[in-house]
Amino acid sequence: MLTLFKNLFYKTFNSKYRILDIGIFVGYAIFTFLLVLRHEPYMDEAHCWLIARDSISIIHLIKLIPWTGQPILWNFILFPFAHLGFPFILQQLLTWVAAVLMVGIFVFRSPFPRFVKYAFVFSFWAIYEYVAVARNYGLTAALLFLVAVMYKDRFQKPILYAVFVALLFNSHFFMFFISSALVGVYAWEMIQDKKITKKTLMALSLMCLTGFFCFFTGTIFPEGHLQYKEIVIPNFTYPAEIFSRAFFPQEIFSSFSLSAISAGIILLISFFLLARMPIPFFILNVCFWGSWYISAFRFHEFGDRHCGLVLMQFIFVLWLTYLYKPMIVKTKFLQWINRISFKKIRILILILLALALGFSVQRSYLCARLDWQYPFSASRQMASFIKEMPEGVVANKIIVGFPPASMAPVSIYLPDWKFWYPDIEDFGTYYMLSSYRDSKKGMSPTEIIGTAGKRFGDLSKIFFLFPRPLEAKHAFGYEFYLVKAASPFLVGYGGEKYFLYKPVFVGPFNKNTVK
């Protein structure tokens, strides 16, 4: 491990700019650490922790992959810590470690000019999205950069290289195409350069096996899944959006068209640049068309974090251009390309990339400032209140919560409490992202209370938690008293406000008594 760490960062101490590099890196690590401590988790972050905590075994964890929306790696990392009783903040700290690793590799080991490196450090992805929000995206980008570092030694250290590619396969489904391209290139070069050895064959086998595992666990949906035998209607406007937001999460002058055209120009120049490098050109095509396919045919609900992974793949391909030599074009009508300086075109692309990253700094500042000043979610506030309630008041420690997704960020802080979900009419913790239960998202408060009444009978011993205040405070013979309203100004993605109610019996039970 020490040798690997030394190999990753040894160049830092051989540069005349080492003080500046180290200063920016340390400043980044300190600032983001403080930001992570201020951040309140929302439903997507809590969902991962609950799956890891409440999965019975690793086999059970694997069976849940189609329902979780992501490969197994992140939940597998969280699994032992969650089962050992660590608090949720550990997931946030692991995200921070992954983001620091991502930035450290990029600053100290990437071949790019420093204006690109520093633009990346302060970009929206590095300074906020992939570090403050405790998900697997920073880890995915870090693994991608680790593969880039190991790429030149892929045949000298084939097993280690294969391990990183295998981890990349299972870090995020957006990485499937680029990981597959890397496996194809490895096999091709192994045959072409006659580097077929026992170790390279073992490495290739490992990468192929993990690729097949990722493919089958991510595409074969069980019965009850929303995508089980689903006929997907393609939407060809999404690819333009995902590529535009990859380069410009903050639209240029609030214009999507201008942002999309600018992103298109960068990609077009990049394809022209790589036409003389078959391997990087092939990988870029696989990344481009893979992202196009996912956004058009498979994944119609994507956020900034998904778009950022498209950008990370683009950066990875540019990284590879430093490891290959441009070939000489021999076709007569294309020989004019040989007269164009490859290095100058690459510098032009890097300048455009740095400008795009720099343009996102305003988004970095805005999101970081808002997350620092205001709650991202009211989950921690509500959970703290519930923890402090007297023992004589909480009775059975049962909360009827709906919708389940909104309950997740509260339940991660309350392991001793039971959450009962009316849509499945049972106790639960994690929720199924892609199940038929999503069709019950529209249950009314009356339906929720009525369903709970059939299950528990006496409602005065339990609490109800809703994301919005009740309009009717009297139902089925109970008066619902508002115990706590956690509804501050929020800046998070889920808009998670909470209203905790305590039912008090005031009259005979009547299913028609709703006021």
The helix (run of H) or strand (run of E) holding residue 478 is strand 478-486
Q: Does the residue 355 lie in any domain? A: no
Q: How many domains does the chain have?
A: 2
Give the closest residue to 185 by CA, choosing from 162, 167, 168, 163. 162
Least confident of 7-16, 374-383, 390-399, 450-459: 7-16
| Dist. CA 386–CA 378, nearest whole Å | 13
Strand-pair partners of 501: 464, 482
Q: Does the residue 365 lie in any domain? A: no
pLDDT confidence tier of residue 339, bands split at 50, 70 and 90: confident
Question: Residue 512: what pLDDT?
Answer: 46
Backbone angles phi, psi at 232, to 5 degrees: -85, 130
pLDDT confidence tier of residue 514, bands split at 50, 70 and 90: very low
Last-in-domain residue among 203, 220, 237? 220
Question: Residue 250: what pLDDT?
Answer: 80
| Dist. CA 234–CA 298, nearest whole Å | 8
Q: State mean pLDDT over 195-211.
A: 95
**Residue 320 near residue 151, CB atoms below 8 Å:** yes
Chain CA centroid to CA 335, Å:
44
Q: Does the residue 70 lie in any domain? A: no
pLDDT confidence tier of residue 439, bands split at 50, 70 and 90: very low
Last-in-domain residue among 200, 220, 240? 220
Least confident of 4-18, 174-188, 234-248, 348-362: 4-18
pLDDT confidence tier of residue 458, bands split at 50, 70 and 90: confident
Cα distances (angstroms) measured from residue 290 to each of 14, 137, 208, 269, 309: 39, 18, 18, 19, 12
Rg of the chain taking only CA atoms, in angstroms: 26
Cα distances (angstroms) measured from residue 159 to each of 23, 76, 207, 211: 34, 21, 10, 15
Least confident of 60-64, 83-87, 243-247, 433-437: 433-437
| Dist. CA 485–CA 42, nearest whole Å | 17
Question: Residue 10: what pLDDT?
Answer: 47
Structure tokens at 111: 């071949």
Q: Does the residue 134 lie in any domain? A: no
Please say if the pLDDT value at position 333 is more than 90: no
**Residue 378 near residue 490, CB atoms below 8 Å:** yes
Question: Residue 223: what pLDDT?
Answer: 67
Last-in-domain residue among 201, 220, 239? 220
The helix (run of H) or strand (run of E) holding residue 503 is strand 498-505
Of all residues in the chain, the percent with pLDDT exceeding 70 is: 89
Query: pLDDT tens digit string along 271-318?
Result: 988 888 999 999 999 999 999 988 888 776 678 899 999 999 999 999
Q: Does the residue 15 lie in any domain? A: no
Angle at 467 between CA 464 and CA 468, to 5 degrees: 95
325: DSSP letter: P
Most confident option among 26-40, 250-264, 470-484: 26-40
Query: What's this model's pTM, rounded to 2 decimal places?
Result: 0.90
Q: Are strands 474-475 and 478-486 parallel, antiparallel or unpaired?
A: antiparallel
Please say if the pLDDT value at position 336 is more than 80: no
Q: Which domain holds residue 453?
A: 379-505
Provide the 10 A C-beta neighbour count for residue 435: 18
| Dist. CA 120–CA 114, nearest whole Å | 10
pLDDT confidence tier of residue 328, bands split at 50, 70 and 90: confident
Provide the 10 A C-beta neighbour count for residue 393: 9
Of all residues in the chain, the percent with pLDDT exceeding 90 is: 58
Please say if the pLDDT value at position 230 is more than 90: no
Give the closest residue to 361 by CA, choosing from 97, 126, 83, 107. 126
Q: Does the residue 513 lie in any domain? A: no
Question: Residue 235: what pLDDT?
Answer: 79
pLDDT confidence tier of residue 14, bands split at 50, 70 and 90: low
Q: Does the residue 184 lie in any domain? A: yes
Least confident of 117-131, 220-234, 260-274, 447-461: 220-234
Question: Residue 116: what pLDDT?
Answer: 96
pLDDT confidence tier of residue 488, bands split at 50, 70 and 90: confident
Q: Does the residue 405 lie in any domain? A: yes
Q: State mean pLDDT over 190-215.
A: 94
Q: State mean pLDDT over 324-330.
A: 81
pLDDT confidence tier of residue 492, bands split at 50, 70 and 90: confident
